[in-house]
Amino acid sequence: MDTHLLLQLTINGLIVGALYGVVAMCFVLIYKASQVVNFAQGEFLLIGAWICWWLLTKYQLPFYAGFLITLAFMMVFGLVLQIVVLRPLIGEPVISVIMVTIGLSIFFQALMKWIFGVFAQPFPPVFTTKSVAVFGLEVQTVYVMSTVVSVLIMIGFAWFFKFSRMGLAMRATAFNQQVAQSLGISIRQVFALSWGISAVVSTVAGVVVGIVNGVSSALSFFGIKVFPAVILGGLDSIVGGVLGGLIIGLLENLAHFVDTQWLKWGNLYEVAPFYILIVILMIRPYGLFGTKDIERV
Amino acid sequence: MSFRTNLLAAAAVALLLPGAAAMAQSIPIGHLNDFSGGTADVGTPYGQGVDDTIAWINKNGGVAGRQIAADAVDYSYQVPRAVALYKKWTGSEKVVAIMGWGTADTEALTSFVTKDQIPFLSGSYAGSLTDPTGKAPKAERATPYNFFYGPSYSDSARAMVQWAAEDWKKKGGQGKPKYVHMGANHPYPNAPKAAAEEYAKELGFEVLEPIQFALAPGDYTAQCLTLKQSGANYAYLGNTGGSNVSVLKACETAGVKVQFFGNVWGMDENAMKTAGTAANGVVFPVRTASVWTDDPPGMKLFRDISKISDPSGKAYRTVHYISGVCSMLYMKEAMDWAAANGGIAGPKIRDGFYAHKDWVPKGTEGVCKPSTWTPEDHRPTTQVELYQASVTGPTDGEVADLIQKGTLKLSKIATIDLPRKKEWLGY
Amino acid sequence: MATAIARPCGDFKTSYRSDQTIFPTIASRLFCLAGVVLLCAAPFLFSKYVLNLLIQIGYLGIAALGLNILVGFTGQISIGHSAFFGFGAFASAYFNNRFHIPVFFSIPLAGLAATAAGLIFGLPAARLKGLYLAIATLAAQYILQDFFARANWFSGGVAGTIAETFSIFGWQADGDERYFYVVLAYVVLMYVLAANLMRTRDGRALVAVRDHYLSAEMMGINLTKYRTMSFGISSFYAGIGGALYAHYLQYVSIEAFSILFSIQFLAMIIIGGLGSIMGTLMGTAFMVLLPEAMNGLAQMLSGSVIDKMLGLNEGVSFLREMAIGATIVLFLIFEPDGLAHRWQQIKAYWKLYPFSY
């Protein structure tokens, strides 16, 4: 067994998994706070990446300036989107809201293609060293940055939800909207803020993937890749989302290893997460860390 | 008849005549293009080339004095829309030919165009479209009305394998060189797989297990590590632009030393720009004998045609644009022949394709390659031009500027002449 | 979500049996029959293009009805419907090519094959609820897609398979005019079957499972049985729809059965109205005609004053996509119960005029 390759694949899995975890966190955040399944999550990545690219290439801003401006813009964008499109849908059945987010994703994909064109664009070089060696695996510097940022975001989220007033308000709203309202929490603010934060954090992932692969409309497929991660971890658990992302990242790479060494099927990299997903769902229907719905008659 | 009746009759004839004349003037053809769907990054230049050529033909006398009325529709690579458009074109508009685009719609419409006898010139060069009689041992079905300009995917792959064999000998490589096919398990990347692997084995390569990667951009470090570990010397990238770029970049980071091969739609100037230095050294087939920076006598015609949509003349046209122009010009000359030999209708246009040998459309000498279609063999050419990409610096900026500065360069490294084997027909 | 209509004066039922008819009033029954008869005349009146659209609405409507039974009547969510549609398409071609079963029989057989596949994937439905079920069906979609790509013996692998034309006793249904009748017959049959299902005990059980499954369980309805059965029925419909699609295009390729296609089915039933049979057909018609309408609009606009004013040009095709997305969003914001509900409102307005509130 090629342990060197296995080690490298494991590291790669963890790094990519951290990125999945970031996007999964955003997804869970929206679901937890406003009970909406956001099929347009991939488009948040896409919009963030394009805006950042545009600021960097058109206005020749340094990376950190452009990045921060993009984050600010995405916060406003998430807030406005929630206020304009999703507020009228409060109270509608879940499936209608899912459909609206799907409609939004179609709309934004076409809009981005119209504004920025159909050709994939590379990011201007951001880091002077292109790659860093981690345990013998050459990793792109931007991935190292993303891992660091992901960990920081996770710590930030943990602090936010445990200790800050707004975070507690979000948890209360997720638990029971009516009780939270009766305690004086403004549900609308909580919803809007959750969308804003989710948009901002998605942008981080979007920019990272954009730097690695170039920005193109295919970035939105990342949103679909994230679903197994979210379900695996449990829909309403942020920790679960992160762990789910890491597990999916590891799973993809390990499945690839098994496939190339022994099975030789060829495509285990893509489908293994889904097979494992079904297995886990049979054993634990609410994911690894999801809260079981206690039904009262 | 009274004076009034005569006047009315004359008025009616006067009104109808220009209408009738106008109708008799135009030749309806259908044009499927993809400016906004999954293959828009290569569909846009190709479709633009076809559109510009049609406009140029109409400005310069049309076909036998008649204007081409092209119904160009962006079907976003969605097959049901292509089928609906086909029904519209054969129902009310009675098109005589169709400029098609992708593999999916070409395959779906093959049985229909064969039944309705409408020549279909596609942007798909799949080997399964090359056998008009369906009799070749490995052919799937008869495709007498499917045409395309350029070497088939399978022949392009074989040509690169042949180049690899020569390159290995030139480099003084010891032992058997290793060849691997990389791509998604999908019709487009798989089209040349069997043919290329078979030819590689014949030429003495050790053919490794194919490595799969999806058709969407993503993280392919795992695949690159496997590639590195397998010790492959030559790797064929079968997917389209975005995912190929991801693989090239991931493999550059992982430090993989492999000679990569691209495919006709998977590597072009735009992909080189997106991949940056990762695309340096990639070898890929080009359907024409020159690219935009070359200056054979025929290139003047292309610059004129380009001015239709770019009056400034400064736009850089990628290899796909040039191929689109060639394709449309072949269709035009086939229609010219049909007009002179019985009328512009589907079967006659097909005969028009058969009527020339080593055919280069007028004015395109040195660009479009000599092509021959016969009733038994729809492979227009088995000669493949191989170019090598060279990227020597950061690639942010317009493609035109990068080419001018010399950061991006395409250089021809070989012209491979494959034998026109009957056993190679149809797959 | 099911329709409640305003009965005109004097229209009352005197027996349970007459209360359970599929069509609540004589007028609606007559309209439906007249509609079907008029459609029979369609191939002589309309062009191939319109016939193509009608055939599309037909086979997509059958599959969408299956999804509506699952989502609208039983309350499950499925994002893997196009995989079962594809399964039916490949199965029908397979039965016809390999075993030389005439197409007339291979279409129902394909439906049964799809049912078997649906039952297998419906088993997790017993334990999962809500979004977890949705994602499990998403996984089913990818797994089936992978199966299609690799099972050369079944689906021709990535090259796709060729399907024959439909023929009964020598009457070949090649060409849109003839195939239209085949599709029309199947649409009428499947829709009547579904409407019939909803008025039987099983249909009521499905609705009970949707509305409040705990109470349904307490009343003695076996949840697992009915949920799995619902998956099976919806897959049957999807399989029939897929088989009709295969014999229409005469070519089946895996590229068509993607997650986007599944999402389109969902859009059809949501826009049409969950839990409404007539709504399914309306929603399907909407989704099929919307891109064509946008296309027509785009062609009309291109080159015109508005085009030059806004500088659209190539952007017109993007506007088309954006319009589709925006239409779905706006539709759901302003009419979340779907077209069926809106139609009921319109009918009620006219029935109760001038007391229309």
**What are the pLDDT digits (tens) for B46-100?**
999 999 999 999 999 888 888 998 888 888 888 878 888 888 888 777 899 999 9
- Chain A residue closest in CA terms to B246: A213
Least confident piece of the model among B58-62, B294-298, C256-260: C256-260
Calculate mean pLDDT across residues C99-128: 86
CA distance A293 to chain C (A): 10
Cβ–Cβ below 8 Å for C336 and A108: no
Q: Do C272 and C279 contact (CB within 8 A), yes or no?
A: yes
The H or E element spanning position A254 is: helix A238-258
pLDDT value at position B5?
Answer: 52
- Chain C residue closest in CA terms to B128: C159
How many Å apart are CA C62 and CA C281, to the nearest integer?
Answer: 8
- The mean of the pLDDT values for chain B is 85
- Chain B residue closest in CA terms to A123: B396
- Chain B residue closest in CA terms to A250: B222
How many Å apart are CA C339 and CA B257, to the nearest integer?
Answer: 59
Which of C130, C134, C325 is closest, CB to CB, to A110? C325
Calculate mean pLDDT across residues B1-29: 55
Cβ–Cβ below 8 Å for A103 and C263: no
Interface of B with C in 188-247 (CB under 8 A): 190
pLDDT value at position B1?
Answer: 47
Which chains form contacts with chain A, at 3 or more CB pairs under 8 Å? B, C
Please check the confidence at residue B13 and state whether its pLDDT lies above 70. Answer: no
In chain C, what percentage of residues exceed pLDDT 70?
Answer: 89
pLDDT value at position C290?
Answer: 85
Band of residue B345 on the pLDDT scale cut at 50, 70, 90: confident
pLDDT value at position B22?
Answer: 44
Which of B80, B107, B185 is closest, CB to CB, to C56? B80
Please check the confidence at residue B12 and state whether its pLDDT lies above 50. Answer: no
Q: Which residues of A touch B395 (CB under 8 A)?
A: 122
The domain spans of chain B are 1-150+292-381, 153-286+382-424
Pick the CATH number of B153-286+382-424 from 3.40.1280.10, 3.40.50.620, 3.40.50.2300, 3.90.1150.10: 3.40.50.2300
Which of C49, C291, C318 is closest, CB to CB, to B88? C49
pLDDT value at position B20?
Answer: 42
* DSSP three-state, residue C252: strand
Interface of A with B in 138-197 (CB under 8 A): 138-140
pLDDT value at position B16?
Answer: 45
Which of A2, A123, A218 is closest, CB to CB, to B229? A2
In chain C, what percentage of residues exceed pLDDT 90?
Answer: 29
Q: Which residues of C touch A89 (CB under 8 A)?
A: 332-333, 336
Cβ–Cβ below 8 Å for A37 and C214: no
pLDDT value at position B163?
Answer: 92
pLDDT value at position A296?
Answer: 55
pLDDT value at position C202?
Answer: 93
Which chains form contacts with chain C, at 3 or more CB pairs under 8 Å? A, B
Calculate mean pLDDT across residues C256-266: 85
How distant, in Å, are the alpha carbons of B42, B280, B285, B299, B363 from that of B302?
18, 27, 20, 5, 9
Q: Does B69 touch chain C (CB under 8 A)?
A: no
B32: Cβ–Cβ under 8 A, 6 or more apart, which residues? B73, B75, B82, B85, B98, B99, B100, B101, B102, B105
Amino acid identity, position A158: A
pLDDT value at position C1?
Answer: 37
What per-residue string of b and e applies to C220-235 under the rule 16 or more CB within 10 Å gives b?
Answer: ebebeebbbbbbbbbb
CA distance C295 to chain B (A): 8
- Chain C residue closest in CA terms to B141: C162
Q: Does A272 touch chain B (CB under 8 A)?
A: no
Please check the confidence at residue B21 and state whether its pLDDT lies above 50. Answer: no
Interface of B with C in 398-417 (CB under 8 A): none
Matching CATH topology for B1-150+292-381 and B153-286+382-424?
Answer: yes
- Chain A residue closest in CA terms to B243: A213
Least confident piece of the model among B106-120, C132-146, C153-167: C153-167
Cβ–Cβ below 8 Å for A95 and C150: no
pLDDT tens-place string over residues A142-153: 888 888 888 888
pLDDT value at position B322?
Answer: 92
Cβ–Cβ below 8 Å for C132 and A231: yes
Which of C124, C150, C324 is closest, CB to CB, to A281? C124
pLDDT value at position C126?
Answer: 67
Q: Is residue C354 reached through a cis peptide bond, with omega within 30 degrees of 0 on the bond before it?
A: yes
Q: Which of A209, A213, A251, A267 to mutate to test the interface with B (most CBs of B within 10 A)?
A: A213
CA distance B152 to chain A (A): 25
Q: Does A106 touch chain B (CB under 8 A)?
A: no
pLDDT tens-place string over residues B190-204: 888 888 999 999 999
Cβ–Cβ below 8 Å for A102 and C328: yes
Task: Identify which of C335, C28, C64 has the alpha carbon closest to the alpha carbon of residue C190.
Answer: C64
pLDDT tens-place string over residues C26-55: 888 898 899 999 999 888 888 888 888 999
Least confident piece of the model among A174-178, B15-19, B377-381: B15-19
Cβ–Cβ below 8 Å for C255 and B91: no
Q: Does B263 touch chain C (CB under 8 A)?
A: no
pLDDT tens-place string over residues A275-288: 887 787 777 777 77
Please check the confidence at residue B260 and state whether its pLDDT lies above 90. Answer: yes
Tokens in use for B132?
Answer: 């008009």
Cβ–Cβ below 8 Å for C332 and A103: yes
Calculate mean pLDDT across residues C243-269: 86
Q: How many helices (H) and strands (E) does chain C have?
A: 17, 4
Compute the Cα dihedral for B136, B141, B142, B147 and give only its sign.
Answer: negative
Question: Across-strand partners of B384?
Answer: B416
Please check the confidence at residue B10 and state whether its pLDDT lies above 70. Answer: no
Q: Which residues of C touch B186 (CB under 8 A)?
A: 149, 158, 254-255
- ipTM of model: 0.80
Cβ–Cβ below 8 Å for A119 and B217: no
- The mean of the pLDDT values for chain C is 84
Q: Do B369 and B362 contact (CB within 8 A), yes or no?
A: no
pLDDT tens-place string over residues B301-332: 999 898 888 888 888 888 999 999 999 999 99
pLDDT higher for C130 or C338? C338
Cβ–Cβ below 8 Å for C47 and B91: yes
Which of C250, C291, C292 is closest, CB to CB, to B111? C250
Least confident piece of the model among B141-155, C133-147, C235-249: C133-147
Cβ–Cβ below 8 Å for C214 and A227: no
The domain spans of chain A are 3-220
CA distance A48 to chain B (A): 17
CA distance A269 to chain C (A): 12
Q: Which residues of C touch B88 (CB under 8 A)?
A: 47-49, 52
Cα B33 vs. chain centroid, distance in angstroms?
Answer: 12
Cβ–Cβ below 8 Å for C49 and B92: yes
In chain B, what percentage of residues exceed pLDDT 90?
Answer: 25
Which of B81, B83, B115 is closest, CB to CB, to C249? B83
Neighbours of B338 (CB within 10 A): 27
What per-residue string of b and e applies to B103-119 under the rule 16 or more CB within 10 Å gives b?
Answer: bbbbbbbbbbbbebebb
Q: Which residues of B touch A118 (CB under 8 A)?
A: 35-36, 40-41, 44
pLDDT value at position B326?
Answer: 92
Q: Which residues of B touch C321 (CB under 8 A)?
A: 36, 76
CA distance A229 to chain C (A): 11
- Chain C residue closest in CA terms to B189: C158
Neighbours of B255 (CB within 10 A): 13
What per-residue string of b and e applies to A165-196 under the rule 16 or more CB within 10 Å gives b?
Answer: eebebbebbbeebeebeeeebebeebbbbbbb
pLDDT higher for B354 or A125? B354
φ/ψ of residue B181, rounded to 5? -100, 130
pLDDT higher for C275 or B235? B235
pLDDT value at position B19?
Answer: 42
Which of C140, C270, C322 is closest, CB to CB, to A99? C270
CA distance A114 to chain B (A): 8
CATH topology of domain B1-150+292-381: Rossmann fold (3.40.50)
